[in-house]
Structure 1
Amino acid sequence: MSMSGAEAILGQMMANGVDTIFGLPGGQLDHFFDAMYNAGDKLRLFSTRHEQGAAYMAFGYARSTGKPGVYTVVPGPGVLNTTAALCSAYATNAPVFCLTGQIPSEGIGKGIGYLHELPDQLATMRTLTKWADRAMTPESAPGLVNQGFTQMLSGRPRPVSLEMPMDVMGAKGAVELLPAAARDQAPSLDEDAIAAAVALLKNARNPLIIAGGGAIAAGEALEQLAAMLQAPVVAFRSGRGVVSDRSHLSQMFPAGYDLWKHADVVIGIGSRMEQQYLYWKVPAHMKVIRIDIDAEELDRIAVPAVAIHADAADAVPALVEKLGRVIDLRASREDELTELAARVRGDVAARVQPQASYLAAIRAALPDDGYFVDEITQVGYTSWYSFPVYEPRHIVTCGYQGTLGYGYATALGVKAAHPDKAVVNVVGDGGFLFTANEMATAAQHGIALVTVLFNNNKFQNVQRQQKEWFGGRLIASDLKNPDFVKFAESFGIRAERVTSPDALQAAIVAALDRNEPALIEVPCGDMASPWPFIIRPPVFDVA
């Protein structure tokens, strides 16, 4: 049928199941926003106050659902404003789809100086994404949209980008919409590699499982494998919740450091294992089995004893099935592992305050199926290993990118994805102001996110390092802040100030019951360093 380029892109997006888009309008997107208007109630549009807010919201949507998070912004400075979110999506294997405009097609590559022109926007986007392309006709749009979906969701999920010049968005063409894109077939299981892994695991005395974000796909099978082997499961950020923290088999990251000392066979499932390889160190006697859908990841740092290039959803059930034929019933380690978990949690509670107490209050207020979104702040760092998580994807972080300021806007995207679930976000006073303007978006769209703001009027991590490493020469780490309660109220958001964990717990419960946007400020002084439980000396002396 006859469609504009904008209608063709949107129609094919919707053919792929997209019903939510985050974005900010502008000249090169006028036709696309008109197409979204004409889609009516088939599409939810969350309009934001900054391009980075739109991209972070799409990131939060993708991280908490595993489904594509889509955002649209103008080219040039608009799309460049979103690149921190794209970096975070790339780091955490989040399926984020960036839709951006372009200058008029006749001017591309000529350097004339059109509004929002970049020297080579497509080349720039290709350095930040798994795939990027340009649609130069309405007719080509459906095929390119599907290519983007196939690339984004096949193998290791990662962000993609598609651009279209503004004149092509308005031009009409004879467009045929396509069925939804298909994912590329997962790698075939290497039966010899599975057999080699089974042989190692059969005789393992102290097996250990390291779970990353790629382990989420394995679901129930991973827990079956852990139970069969009585192997504790350790996760740091993205893999948390794959095995509920209520299970004795799920162990905190610091407990993993102790378990590493005695492990003889380690299974890394969908994890980069960079903490273990780079910091804890792998001795010669330890055998490592790695399962990853990304072939390049398997030996990126070191060559494992067994490399299984596969989707964890295929490989882990295969291991369970074949191991079940040959393994003897193992004695439960519940008492031992329960004692270890209690000891480590007690150690954290004694040494990392007030973060541990405030996180306990948040956990008590948040329903089991609620979502927790961190930030690059002292409480956020501590949550990576001490906040109990009961389901996968229910703790959202930015992974190794450490994207300061990402948290508030990302949490809005999480809440937009799960309007019927509780979502609590923690922020620091430094990072919060990166996207605090999106309180306007929360108020406008009624996004009932509860945000807890810890305010000590400084970048504490920076200041701690200035004190410890540079003789106390403080520079640019003290902050002048607004009155955050009045600031939130100016957007029409209910805000309050509390000064204890008990008061925080009560305030969160009340805010969740109101089901409206809320800000809870917690004035605080310097907090204990969370890093001794993350950055540890090598377990083994390996050259």
Structure 2
Amino acid sequence: MSGKYEPMELTGGQALVAQLLEEGVTDIFGIPGIQLDWAVDAIRSQPDRIRYIMPRHEQATSYMADGYARTTGREGVFMVVPGPGVLNALSGLATAYACSSRVLCISGQIPSTLIGQKHGMLHEIPDQSGILKSLTKWHGIAHRPEDVPALVHEAFVQLRSGHPRPVAIELPPDVLQAKGVTTILQRAEFNRLEPQPNTIEEAAAILAQAKFPVIQVGGGAAASGAGKAIQALAERLQAPVVMTDGARGLLDDNHPLALTSLGGRAVFPHADVIVAVGTRFIDGIAKPTHASGDTRYIYVNVDAGASGAPRAPGCLVLSDATAAAEALLAALPSETRASSTDKIGKVKAWSASQTDAIQPQTDYVRAIRSSMADDDILVSELTQVGYFSNIAFPVHAANSYVTPGYQGTLGYGFNTALGAAHGNPDRRVVSLNGDGGFGWGMQELATLARDGCNMSVVVFVDGHYGNVRRIQQRTFGDTFAVELANPDFAHLASAFGLPFEKVDSPSGLHAALTRAKDSKGPALIAVSVSEMPSPWALIHPFVPSPVTPPANPLG
């Protein structure tokens, strides 16, 4: 590390902000508190360079940072007080960890000389550092103001190299207030992991002999921005690309080789080679996404553990997804293969026929999609239309479709969408919610109204935790503790000065979304619905469902 500036005397708070600015940070999501006063004051002194966005609850800060990171390609930064502030933000941090999201948590602490003494200081909790370490790839704590620039810089080194996952820094209040001679360090550059030539040669030799290769891409490929490289590799191989929920949009769904996970169920059994890029390649019950016993496997990942048991043995290319795809493309023979368009077209048609039969979810998905531009952003949720969107919502641009990943965080969606909206003011954001999950963050309508976000908030209202009700009914024949007492959503919107519409049909939703988008401001739309049919046989075959799993269109 080399210094960009001459050493200067700064408070720890000033050093924090100076290094954040050097790293390119322009937005921080946070709620102030006494332990952070000297950091917040330093932010206040730079109003033209850094924006402090304050929601109403610490949980929102981490979700907003995650939504910001996953839709802008820039790091998301949030700041909370120690103890309850950190604990409130953990669900968003866990979601960011699950989704390979580049998020920096800046946490306050109790005075540095009292950490671990158990004197009952304000906001003190046992082993806050250990809690943060469990949900981040790297963690640091400052003991002197001179430590702050190097810690911030190392946080961004970690965020911009290896497996993209959250990192955390703890800053005691005495360190933020004290002055020290500090040196601001040059911005951390992205440092992607390049593949070893021998593994590329091995993988290319396997692919050169493949008759029907299939590529599966996951959140790691999306975090790498590997779309162009994967598309070029797929076209060279004439290989279908199966996108997991975390990789939707890596290829435009209109591309003839692009498939969702539903389409993957049709092609995997016929693949003689499967290339798993930036994906764990296991399903929700830790069962490998294997094909036939004769299938060969190539695992491309920055984490060697993504190729181990219970997966079948294969060729491991330890590498960034983009770097590996580019290297494989260069190593493969250049001749054009016979087109797979007709074969994959059958799978696309089969997938559409399966999803079209699920109503009214299909019509709602179409209503939403037809109201949006290709690069507008949809933040899904754990709600009936949200679940279905994972396989049925057409995605046409990278970083435009957001889910909670394997964390399955009910109530994450509205707050995450707010972060996406703050980071992408020129793109319309649509937040899908059920009335159950929306209740966990509805206070953030205050943030939506205050900041005038370019965002439509859709709440499907059926008065229940719908999926819990379905599971209980199927398992026990009865339901318990699933009924909701909802607010009058019209009055709720009015209380915050927000435009509001109530609809009860897909056509009504399309019209309301179109009007909201034309207004270029925030809107709340409540959609009255009844119990919907189960789509789970199409989404996850391991989930029990009364729906019969579909037959394979390729035989």
TM range (shorter): over 0.9
Measured in 1, the distance between the counterparts of 2:352 and 2:85 equals: 44
> Are 1:475 and 2:480 counterparts?
yes
Partner in structure 2 of residue 266 of structure 1: 274
Name the SS of the counterpart of 2:46 in structure 1: helix
Q: Give structure 2 stretches of 5+ with no counterpart.
A: 1-7, 543-548
Measured in 1, the distance between the counterparts of 2:74 and 2:535 equals: 32
- 1:122-167 per-position Cα deviation (integer Å, ceiling 9, x unaligned): 1111111111111111111000111111122210010011111112
Decide which moves more: 194-203 or 142-151: 194-203
Residues 377, 429 of structure 2: 8 Å contact kept: yes
Among candidates 423, 428, 432, match of residue 429 of structure 2: 423
| CA-CA distance at 1:343 after TM superposition | 2.4
Alignment of 1:52-71 (within 5 A): 52-71=59-78
Query: Could you tell me which amino acid in structure 2 is paired with residue 284 of structure 1?
Result: G
Note the aligned Cα RMSD (angstroms): 1.7
Measured in 2, the distance between the counterparts of 1:233 and 1:156 equals: 22
Measured in 2, the distance between the counterparts of 1:182 and 1:303 equals: 36
Partner in structure 1 of residue 186 of structure 2: 179
Measured in 2, the distance between the counterparts of 1:252 and 1:259 equals: 11
Measured in 2, the distance between the counterparts of 1:394 and 1:514 equals: 21
Measured in 2, the distance between the counterparts of 1:120 and 1:225 equals: 47
Q: Could you tell me the TM-score, scaled by structure 2's length? A: 0.94
> Are 1:245 and 2:250 counterparts?
no
Residues 95, 152 of structure 1: 8 Å contact kept: yes
Partner in structure 2 of residue 511 of structure 1: 516
Measured in 2, the distance between the counterparts of 1:294 and 1:182 equals: 20
Name the SS of the counterpart of 1:485 in structure 2: helix
- 1:355-378 per-position Cα deviation (integer Å, ceiling 9, x unaligned): 111011110001011011001111
Alignment of 1:224-243 (within 5 A): 224-243=232-251
Name the SS of the counterpart of 1:261 in structure 2: helix
Alignment of 1:79-228 (within 5 A): 79-183=86-190, 185-216=191-222, 217-228=225-236
Residues 95, 159 of structure 1: 8 Å contact kept: yes
| CA-CA distance at 1:347 after TM superposition | 1.6
Measured in 2, the distance between the counterparts of 1:188 and 1:85 equals: 30
Residues 90, 158 of structure 1: 8 Å contact kept: yes
Alpha carbons of 1:144 and 1:460: their partners in 2 closer, same or farther (altered >3 Å)?
Answer: same
Name the SS of the counterpart of 2:38 in structure 1: helix
Residues 238, 393 of structure 1: 8 Å contact kept: no
- 1:210-262 per-position Cα deviation (integer Å, ceiling 9, x unaligned): 01122233231211111111111111211111111011100122111011121
> Are 1:493 and 2:515 counterparts?
no
Partner in structure 1 of residue 443 of structure 2: 437
Residues 5, 168 of structure 1: 8 Å contact kept: yes
Alignment of 1:308-319 (within 5 A): 308-319=317-328
Partner in structure 1 of residue 301 of structure 2: 292
- 1:150-195 per-position Cα deviation (integer Å, ceiling 9, x unaligned): 1222100100111111122111111211111244x44442222212
| CA-CA distance at 1:464 after TM superposition | 0.5
Among candidates 346, 350, 357, match of residue 353 of structure 2: 346
- 1:340-363 per-position Cα deviation (integer Å, ceiling 9, x unaligned): 21221122111x221111011110
Residues 12, 176 of structure 2: 8 Å contact kept: yes
Residues 257, 280 of structure 1: 8 Å contact kept: no
Measured in 1, the distance between the counterparts of 2:310 and 2:157 equals: 28
Among candidates 33, 42, 49, match of residue 26 of structure 1: 33
Query: Could you tell me which amino acid in structure 2 is paired with residue 503 of structure 1?
Result: G
| CA-CA distance at 1:300 after TM superposition | 5.0
Measured in 1, the distance between the counterparts of 2:416 and 2:151 equals: 27
Name the SS of the counterpart of 2:287 in structure 1: helix
Among candidates 320, 324, 338, match of residue 331 of structure 1: 338
Residues 21, 72 of structure 1: 8 Å contact kept: yes
Residues 279, 536 of structure 1: 8 Å contact kept: no
Measured in 2, the distance between the counterparts of 1:286 and 1:97 equals: 40
Query: Could you tell me which amino acid in structure 2 is paired with residue 464 of structure 1?
Result: R
Decide which moves more: 73-82 or 230-239: 230-239
Name the SS of the counterpart of 2:441 in structure 1: helix
Decide which moves more: 309-318 or 71-80: 309-318
Query: Could you tell me which amino acid in structure 2 is paired with residue 22 of structure 1?
Result: F
| CA-CA distance at 1:329 after TM superposition | 2.4
Residues 365, 505 of structure 1: 8 Å contact kept: yes
| CA-CA distance at 1:305 after TM superposition | 2.0
Residues 245, 390 of structure 2: 8 Å contact kept: yes
Alpha carbons of 1:192 and 1:465: their partners in 2 closer, same or farther (altered >3 Å)?
Answer: same
> Are 1:447 and 2:453 counterparts?
yes
Q: Could you tell me the TM-score, scaled by structure 1's length? A: 0.96
Measured in 2, the distance between the counterparts of 1:534 and 1:219 equals: 23
Query: Could you tell me which amino acid in structure 1 is paired with residue 157 of structure 2?
Result: T
Q: Give structure 1 stretches of 5+ with no counterpart.
A: none
Measured in 1, the distance between the counterparts of 2:496 and 2:53 equals: 17
Name the SS of the counterpart of 1:469 in structure 2: helix
Measured in 1, the distance between the counterparts of 2:32 and 2:183 equals: 26
Measured in 2, the distance between the counterparts of 1:500 and 1:3 equals: 59
Name the SS of the counterpart of 1:222 in structure 2: helix
Name the SS of the counterpart of 1:18 in structure 2: coil
| CA-CA distance at 1:279 after TM superposition | 5.9
Alpha carbons of 1:171 and 1:196: their partners in 2 closer, same or farther (altered >3 Å)?
Answer: same
Name the SS of the counterpart of 1:41 in structure 2: coil
Name the SS of the counterpart of 1:99 in structure 2: strand
Residues 217, 241 of structure 2: 8 Å contact kept: yes
Query: Could you tell me which amino acid in structure 1 is paired with residue 468 of structure 2?
Result: V
Count of residue pairs the alignment pairs up: 535
